[in-house]
Chains A and B, each alone.
Chain A
Amino acid sequence: MLPQLLRFEVLYQSKQRALPIAGLVFFCLGYFLGKSGNAPALVDFNAPFQVSYFTGNMSLMSVFIIMFFAVSGVIRDSKDRMEALIYSTAVKKADFFWSRFIGVFLFSVFAFSLFLPGFLMGVSLSGLDAARIAPFQWQTYLWPFLVIMVPNIFICTSVLFSVSLLSKRNVATYAAAILMYLLYFIIGIYSNSPMFASSIPASAEQMTRAALADPFAISTFFEHTQFWTPFDKSNLPMSFSGNYIWNRLLWIGFSFVLLGFTYRLFSFRKTGQQRRQKPSLQLAQISTQLYRSTKVLINRRTQWRAFGHSVKMDIFEIIQSLPFLAVLFTLFAALAFELYLKFFAGGFPAESWHPFTHLVIESVIEIIPILSKILIVFYSGELIWKAQDRKFDGILNATPTLNWVFFLSKMVTLTLLPMLLITTLTVVCIAFQLVNGFMVIDLKQYLLLFYHYGISIVTWSSLAIFVQSLAKHKYLGMGLTGFVLLALTTPLSYHLGLEHPMLRIGVMPSITYSNMAGYGIQVSAFTTYACYWVALGIILALFSLKYWNRQLIEARRDWARIWEGQWKRSELLALSLSLMGFMAAGIVLYHKLSTDGQHESRAAQIEYREQYERKFKQYEVLPKLTTGAIQTEIDIYPEDQRYSIAAEYQLVNRNGIPVQQLFLSTTKKLSAIRLENANLISEDTVFGTYLFEFEQPIQPQETTSLRYELTHQSLPFKPDHSILRNGVYLRHEFFEPILAYDRSRELSDPLVRRSRGLPDGNVEPQEGPENSVVPIEDQDISFETIISTSANQEALAPGDLIKKWSKDGRNFYRYQYSERSIAVIAYLSAQYEVKKHTCDGVELKSYYHPEHDINLPTIEATACATLSYGRENFGPYPFQQLRVAEIPSYFPRAGDAQPGIISLVEDKVYLIDIGKNNSFNLAAKRTAEQVAHQWWGISLTPKNAPGAGFLTFGLAKYTAAVVLEEMYGQGALWEINKTANEQYFRGRAFASAKEPPLYREQGKRYLINGKSSLVLSSLRDLIGEEKFNAALRKLLDKYAPSTAHEVHILDFIDELYAVSPQEHHTLIDDWMKQIIRYELSVDDIQYKRLDNGQYEISAAIFAKRFKTLPSGREIAIDINEPIKIGCFNKHPKSIGKTDKIPYLETHCIQDTLTTIKLTLDSLPRYITVDPFLTRPDRNYANNLKEIVQ
């Protein structure tokens, strides 16, 4: 019987248009993805990694196909009223059940599997860089088909098939589909899938849990490949191992159990109708009452009352419906996860916050637009077609309720649904704050959410209703609305070239908030956007209202009817007013966006960069002048978000040849520029370039002077977060002209360069000035400034404060370098609270936002400890003061340092919850690093060459580590190195270029922040802290006094050689000049109690080293080096200052397997190899093993 039934299923389903359409859609998706060349840098476009990645993500889309097949395969009987006929035949339950299930499953597999040939074809016909297309291999496509595609479809089919078979309702099936999708969504947020870029990286345990819990195995994929380098991604085959096996077993097992349950519960012969059968009618009781009519009165108030009741009834029904509950459930789950992660778990790098209102909001709000869109798409269809679908329209339309009442009530209901989500979010967040004992709740910020996010919601609702009335068909309308929202309001719009903000319907500028600086967007800009979108929303709504005439139901086809339909005067008035508003706001918006220039399309940016290079590349060869001295006068007007600066530079010719011409590139428009003894030959206002020719060439060692002036204001449509109302942080790079051709403006993508006909060139991806780690100047300068700000603010600049005065209601300050120092200059201004201390004769001044004093004691203590450590071990501190100032959260890093001053970012230092961990403190770590820059970077400024980042940031991190170890104990080291380890391995997995050895680091974050920390810890252990510091001190003694920046990382390595025995030099080279990772672990612990009460413990130490060859391939190499082995009574991460360590000694490890034997007085709890994680090791968790008693 089964074969015949299956044959019928095939016949039936193949007659559904959905099958060819779905197959075609997946084929095209594959084709376009294959053609798009969408792959991380250095990874083959058709690598097994890529194909599996796309297949995994596409299986999310397959849910909707499966949903469709499940509905048509299962619910068709009840929908088409065939149930009674089918169920009264002789068909057996098992045959029926399995034929339907297999039908749905096979068709879904068929439709989805066309993705793979599509992808194959796309790649082959793409014309992409042939060097990055690997030869065709069966396994590349077969693996994702068998391990990802077929199981995923099986799992989804089981769930959706069961739901539709048991519920016999479309809506329940849709809800189940949405729920599956949301389940993945939650796991994605939780496991930090790269698809949810905002989330913070997850820990290894979280990754494992997510890898198992994800029904689509997408998280499993990420877990599986998280440490793959670009080389691995290109070359390694996918393997069905580890959590892949467990995930598949778990979920396929679950599916079978679910199917088994469904099979048992599904009662074949009962139709869904029976449940509704009510007990037979009671005998009629003759009513004694006579019919009496009741007074009616139709007036305006009646209509509004009808409106109110309609909204109430729709809302009441929707909040009980499954899809809404699924969305609400997602919201709760997301809130729980995000709040837990950001405020307790302290994801990466152990950063938890105090629950300040803006931080609570910021950590959860992103889910609101996504869920709003889901609600609007789904319920616009449901609401609009509700009366018709339920055949209630006859009764409703005969009532004297006016058209607009029905229309407006739908509109308002649709808008209220997302608002309900915001309300829920607000309540949960406030409760969270209160439960955590945080009483300073900023209600205004919560209330503003309704405005900030409400504009989008209103616009999208109008759009959805408009589309519904155009489409005349519920599902078509839902699909169209979903498509429009996807194409215009998600990042997809950038890929489609629909990136202009005026096209991205309902998308508002993103809202940022800082306790210091307030909202990041200016009211006028936000209001303009709001007017623009709301006006458009009203226009769409009015047209929909006209179209929505209950009398014209049968004539809907006639679009022109709208114009015939009588527009009432009030409607015409509203239409013309909103048209005018839309036009006016549109004109303002367009004008502002193009003149203020916030929006520039990608194409325009590429064009700009290309033209810059073509026009001015010729000046790159000109000999450069260097800056010897800078003198500035700067007036800051925080209330206007404006500053004016007049600067005078002394320029020196340090070349061996005379300088004839000077080329300048500016980023901000100058109001005046004058170069001594030189004539302006040409000026380009588009690119902001100047070319001067000297009357007399500047001879070597001769000087000249450059003077320029400029005024800059943060514009509403181009907000400049360096100049805020409170919390100005203005680095020189933000406005300073570059005295040369600016190479960072060149196009860096080789593909784009080729398409533009530009030479390939050795263009390294450049980091912007904000992120550059080393000053461009190669000499120290002298610096002096007079800075003024408004009366209620305090202004800061590098150097020592010489004088302070007030004039004309403004505060003036003069700062000056006491000796020549680096040309890294920033100006600060804010309403600061100030605290003074003395720290070994150096004045320590804290400048902070009044409410932000929670971590102040930590910050001050750390700054002081770092100063002392530095002065004792490295060399003198060259200033009389150290100022520590808070700056707003717009700065991209945790802090910044200039001569005599460090800046720490509010939400990265001042607002973080340092928690109850007594062995580590993140605020302390970040403070110590910045203070350490006073030596590393400022006193000792490296030459602008590879390795400079190591000397600046690496050594600062080293200093922070030893200071924290001194303050908190060795547990701090574990935390610091754990973070460094993760940063290193994650960074190299997503690197855009081949990994260089550490001493050749080219500003790569994962090397200077990650690997350098580890290597420096290892070096300290190898050489000994005292000797190591002596080497550093020698480096400082030698190079710090010179004003030229000459020290190179090889000089540092030479100093290391000098303080270490010859036999360690190979190891130092391995760490600094090779790419080597370790796999260390402990296993096989045995112990026995000796007669004297002592314990003899033995353990196996596994140690392996892997070297990455220049090709990227990794090979195993020998090991022979001293590594610490320790026994602990508590986890190494919680070792505090006073904790005793039973055993901690360096062992020379020479073999892959070393068995050690120890005799101790008592039995420790853990044995570890490399307890403080000084070696780069992906799996650091198995360095440690608990002794089971």
Chain B
Amino acid sequence: MNTLVLKNISKTYANGVKALDGINLTIANGMFGLLGANGAGKSSLMRTIAALQKPSEGSVIFNDVDVVKTPQAVRIALGFLPQEFGVYPKISAQELLNYLAVLKGINNKKERKEQVATLLQQTNLYQHRKKSVYTFSGGMKQRFGIAQALLGNPKLIIVDEPTAGLDPEERNRFLNLLSEIGKHIIVILSTHIVEDVQELCKQMAILAKGKIIASGNPTALVKTIAGKVWKKPIPKAELPAYQEKYRVISTHLVGGDTLIKVLSDSQPSLDFETTKAGLEDYYFSQMHLHYL
């Protein structure tokens, strides 16, 4: 069993921006979803866990070793997919994976070759293996990023916005792969797409303005608002009035009408229908709470 404990992590950048503010989390084997809007501090947190940057305060303990002091402790067990990455031109996908496999410590040449081939197949890149990653389309490049994160024997996988740029089928395959791996190790999935977390994660946290505003099991979290979410289609012009009157947590366009969802312990008015609460509703409700 692997454990990752974040104790009171704060990060202030040189330009004064406070990206992380007293984060405490404990993460064990399984998929862990980190949900947050753009700019909430997800990437800062991921980079801190991956020992790519030091926190200003606090400590990251991975399997009882302080990563801030000994970054090597996490690096030897890490698979990391950054949110944005580039590659070297003129190097084929296979060669680049092989190189990274060497860096990650797969010392046996045959094993290296086998794992690279397997991963290329699993990410459906095998027929493109001789091409330079530089020429890959966005989706292919993203799959390559996933393949490299799985190299070796990772005990902690951090994937930052992994499904961006993937088509629905690719996304499915990828998430299946992750959940399969996530049975035995820690997989941290950072995303702003609620469905990803909903489908896969046993545990999750919501990050906003550098703080954890909620954490726990998604189903349990959703339960806290069960029966309290109401919906109603309204003309668009009336939206400000509703926002004034109710806790509107989300608005959707459905067939040209605006469908609003409102959080309320009881039916706000007769024309509101009850609706089944989902994780998205929970997320929006928390964000709504936090940002008001």
Asked if A and B bind, the verdict is yes
| Chain A interface residues toward B at CB < 8 A | 276-278, 281-282, 284-287, 289-298, 301-302, 305-306, 309-310, 313, 316-317, 320, 386, 390-392, 394-402, 550-551, 553-555, 557
Please name 23 pairs of A and B residues whose Cβ atoms are closer than 8 Å in the assembled complex, sorted by A.
Answer: A277-B137, A281-B167, A284-B124, A291-B180, A292-B118, A294-B115, A294-B152, A295-B106, A296-B106, A298-B72, A305-B107, A310-B103, A313-B88, A313-B91, A316-B90, A317-B89, A386-B88, A394-B47, A395-B80, A395-B85, A395-B145, A400-B75, A551-B51
Q: Which of A277, A278, A291, A295 contacts B122 (CB 8 A)?
A: A291
Tally of contacts, chain A with chain B, CB under 8 A: 144
**Chain A, residue nearest B120 (CB):** A287
Residues of chain B within 8 A (CB-CB) of A310 are 99, 103
Closest beta carbon of chain B to A1010's beta carbon, Å: 56
Contact A551 B53 (CB under 8 A): yes
**Chain A, residue nearest B111 (CB):** A294
- Contacts A294-B111, A400-B76; is A284 near B104 (CB within 8 Å)? no
Assess whether B82 is interfacial by the CB under 8 Å rule.
yes
Contact B135 A291 (CB under 8 A): no
Contact B99 A313 (CB under 8 A): yes
- Once the chains are docked, how many angstroms separate the CA of A1010 from the CA of B217? 100
- Contacts A294-B106, A294-B111, A317-B88; is A281 near B140 (CB within 8 Å)? yes
Contact B99 A309 (CB under 8 A): yes
Extra 17 A-B pairs, beta carbons < 8 Å, given A296-B104, A398-B78: A278-B135, A284-B173, A291-B180, A291-B181, A292-B118, A293-B152, A296-B152, A298-B76, A316-B90, A394-B47, A394-B84, A395-B80, A395-B82, A395-B145, A399-B100, A399-B103, A555-B14
Contact B52 A397 (CB under 8 A): yes
Contact A398 B137 (CB under 8 A): no
Q: Which of A294, A551, A555 contacts B114 (CB 8 A)?
A: A294
Closest beta carbon of chain B to A274's beta carbon, Å: 12
Closest beta carbon of chain A to B178's beta carbon, Å: 9
Assess whether B2 is interfacial by the CB under 8 Å rule.
no
Contact B107 A301 (CB under 8 A): yes
Closest beta carbon of chain B to A553's beta carbon, Å: 7
Closest beta carbon of chain B to A172's beta carbon, Å: 12
Contact A398 B88 (CB under 8 A): no
- Once the chains are docked, how many angstroms separate the CA of A402 from the CA of B72? 8
- Contacts A290-B180, A298-B76; is A309 near B103 (CB within 8 Å)? yes
- Once the chains are docked, how many angstroms separate the CA of A296 from the CA of B106? 5
- Once the chains are docked, how many angstroms separate the CA of A298 from the CA of B107? 8
Assess whether B13 is interfacial by the CB under 8 Å rule.
yes
- Contacts A302-B107, A306-B102, A386-B88; is A554 near B153 (CB within 8 Å)? no
Residues of chain A within 8 A (CB-CB) of B78 are 398, 400
**List of 5 A-B pairs having minimum Cβ-Cβ separation, nearest first:** A394-B82, A391-B86, A398-B80, A400-B75, A296-B105
Q: Which of B53, B90, B99, B105 contacts A400 (CB 8 A)?
A: B105
Contact B85 A392 (CB under 8 A): yes
Q: Which of A281, A285, A398 contacts B139 (CB 8 A)?
A: A281
Within 8 A of A (CB), among B207-257: none
- Once the chains are docked, how many angstroms separate the CA of A309 from the CA of B139? 27
- Once the chains are docked, how many angstroms separate the CA of A277 from the CA of B104? 31
- Once the chains are docked, how many angstroms separate the CA of A642 from the CA of B209? 82
Among B72, B99, B134, the one with the most A-chain Cβ atoms within 10 Å of its Cβ is B99
Contact B154 A289 (CB under 8 A): no
Residues of chain B within 8 A (CB-CB) of A295 are 106, 108, 111, 153
- Once the chains are docked, how many angstroms separate the CA of A392 from the CA of B107? 22
Residues of chain A within 8 A (CB-CB) of B82 are 394-395, 398
Contact A276 B180 (CB under 8 A): no
Contact A282 B107 (CB under 8 A): no
- Once the chains are docked, how many angstroms separate the CA of A554 from the CA of B139? 30
Assess whether B280 is interfacial by the CB under 8 Å rule.
no
Assess whether B190 is interfacial by the CB under 8 Å rule.
no
Assess whether B192 is interfacial by the CB under 8 Å rule.
no
- Once the chains are docked, how many angstroms separate the CA of A392 from the CA of B140? 16
Contact A320 B90 (CB under 8 A): yes
**Chain A, residue nearest B123 (CB):** A287
Assess whether B266 is interfacial by the CB under 8 Å rule.
no
- Once the chains are docked, how many angstroms separate the CA of A290 from the CA of B76? 23
Residues of chain B within 8 A (CB-CB) of A301 are 107
Residues of chain B within 8 A (CB-CB) of A276 are 134-135
Residues of chain B within 8 A (CB-CB) of A291 are 118, 122, 150, 177, 180-181
**Chain A, residue nearest B50 (CB):** A398
Residues of chain A within 8 A (CB-CB) of B100 are 395, 399
Contact B153 A296 (CB under 8 A): yes
Residues of chain A within 8 A (CB-CB) of B81 are 395
Residues of chain B within 8 A (CB-CB) of A284 are 124, 169-170, 173
Q: Which of B51, B107, B177 contacts A297 (CB 8 A)?
A: B107
Q: What 1/0 flags go to B133-168 for Cβ under 8 Å of A?
A: 011110110000100101111100000000000010
- Once the chains are docked, how many angstroms separate the CA of A310 from the CA of B91? 12
Closest beta carbon of chain B to A1121's beta carbon, Å: 72
Closest beta carbon of chain A to B7's beta carbon, Å: 19
Contact A278 B90 (CB under 8 A): no
- Once the chains are docked, how many angstroms separate the CA of A295 from the CA of B114? 12
Interface size classification for chain B? 35 or more
Among B13, B80, B127, the one with the most A-chain Cβ atoms within 10 Å of its Cβ is B80
Among A294, A391, A392, A400, the one with the most B-chain Cβ atoms within 10 Å of its Cβ is A294
Contact B102 A289 (CB under 8 A): no
- Contacts A296-B76, A296-B152, A398-B78; is A287 near B85 (CB within 8 Å)? no
Closest beta carbon of chain A to B289's beta carbon, Å: 32
Closest beta carbon of chain B to A934's beta carbon, Å: 69
Contact A390 B88 (CB under 8 A): yes
Q: Which of A281, A286, A294, A557 contacts B173 (CB 8 A)?
A: A286
**Chain A, residue nearest B132 (CB):** A276
Residues of chain B within 8 A (CB-CB) of A401 are 103
Residues of chain A within 8 A (CB-CB) of B134 are 276
Assess whether B71 is interfacial by the CB under 8 Å rule.
yes
Residues of chain A within 8 A (CB-CB) of B152 are 293-294, 296
Assess whether B121 is interfacial by the CB under 8 Å rule.
yes
Contact B52 A398 (CB under 8 A): yes
- Once the chains are docked, how many angstroms separate the CA of A297 from the CA of B106? 7
- Once the chains are docked, how many angstroms separate the CA of A404 from the CA of B109? 23
- Once the chains are docked, how many angstroms separate the CA of A1018 from the CA of B196? 101
Residues of chain B within 8 A (CB-CB) of A399 are 75, 100, 103-104
**Chain A, residue nearest B117 (CB):** A289
Residues of chain B within 8 A (CB-CB) of A550 are 52
Residues of chain B within 8 A (CB-CB) of A320 are 90
Closest beta carbon of chain A to B60's beta carbon, Å: 13
Assess whether B37 is interfacial by the CB under 8 Å rule.
no
Residues of chain B within 8 A (CB-CB) of A309 are 99, 102-103
Residues of chain A within 8 A (CB-CB) of B173 are 284, 286
- Once the chains are docked, how many angstroms separate the CA of A396 from the CA of B88? 12
Closest beta carbon of chain B to A902's beta carbon, Å: 62
- Once the chains are docked, how many angstroms separate the CA of A289 from the CA of B140? 19
Closest beta carbon of chain B to A337's beta carbon, Å: 31
Q: Which of A277, A306, A392 contacts B86 (CB 8 A)?
A: A392
Among A386, A400, A402, the one with the most B-chain Cβ atoms within 10 Å of its Cβ is A400
- Once the chains are docked, how many angstroms separate the CA of A1050 from the CA of B152? 96
Q: What 1/0 flags go to B51-88 for Cβ under 8 Å of A?
A: 11110000000000000000110011010111011111
**Chain A, residue nearest B151 (CB):** A294
Q: Which of B53, B86, B88, B112 contacts A553 (CB 8 A)?
A: B53
Closest beta carbon of chain B to A277's beta carbon, Å: 7
- Once the chains are docked, how many angstroms separate the CA of A399 from the CA of B177? 22
Contact A394 B87 (CB under 8 A): no
- Once the chains are docked, how many angstroms separate the CA of A555 from the CA of B14? 7
Residues of chain A within 8 A (CB-CB) of B135 are 276, 278
Closest beta carbon of chain A to B48's beta carbon, Å: 10
- Once the chains are docked, how many angstroms separate the CA of A557 from the CA of B15? 12
Closest beta carbon of chain A to B113's beta carbon, Å: 10
Q: Which of A294, A306, A391 contacts B103 (CB 8 A)?
A: A306
Residues of chain B within 8 A (CB-CB) of A286 are 173
Contact A551 B167 (CB under 8 A): no
